[in-house]
């Protein structure tokens, strides 16, 4: 299993979502056009993922995104529509978010969880960017 960030078309998203639903994965959807700032991102992730408590910092977000136990799913897929507009007012933070996915979130769910959580199980976690 390799968790990663995909760039797909809106047309492709329908069949991908259908396949992932059949596999029992959690699907989250966000409108990148409405996420312009760091706080917009943190608020949207808190709501979309149903974090038990809203997060106001990147550290809090990273804690919750590496838990997700309340979703009780076999894996996770996040779809970001209007990805070209995602965090358009803060391109540096946009890069930080993508870096957090590739360097922290994806490896956590791919293999780290098995080493740091009792009975932790590797799961798919992928992000789909849709222009």
Q: Is the confidence at residue 49, as pLDDT, over 70?
A: yes
Query: Please, which pLDDT band fits residue 1 given cuts at 50, 70 and 90?
Result: low
Mean of per-residue pLDDT scores for the chain: 96
Residue 33 burial class via C-beta count within 10 angstroms: exposed 0-12, middle 13-18, buried 19 and up: middle
pTM of the model: 0.95
Residue pair 55/64 in contact (Cβ under 8 Å)? The answer is yes
Q: Is the confidence at residue 114, as pLDDT, over 70?
A: yes
- At 70-83, the pLDDT tens digits run 999 999 999 999 99
Residues in contact with 27: Cβ distance below 8 Å, sequence separation at least 6, in sequence order: 17, 20, 21, 77, 78, 79
Length of the chain: 131
Residue pair 38/60 in contact (Cβ under 8 Å)? The answer is no
- Extents of the domains making up the chain: 5-130
| Homologous superfamily, domain 5-130 | Barstar-like (3.30.370.10)
């Amino acid at each position: 299993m390799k968790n990663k960030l995909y760039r797909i078309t809106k047309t492709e998203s329908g069949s991908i979502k259908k396949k992932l639903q059949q596999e029992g994965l959690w699907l989250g959807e966000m409108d990148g056009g409405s996420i312009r700032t760091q706080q917009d991102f943190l608020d949207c992730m808190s709501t979309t993922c149903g974090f038990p408590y809203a997060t106001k910092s990147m550290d809090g977000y990273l804690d919750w995104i590496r838990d997700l136990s309340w979703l009780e799913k076999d894996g996770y897929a996040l779809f970001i529509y209007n990805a070209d507009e995602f965090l358009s007012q803060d391109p540096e933070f946009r890069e930080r978010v993508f870096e957090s996915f590739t360097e922290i979130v994806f490896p956590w769910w791919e293999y780290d969880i098995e080493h740091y959580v009792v009975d932790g199980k590797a799961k798919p976690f992928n992000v789909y960017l849709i222009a």
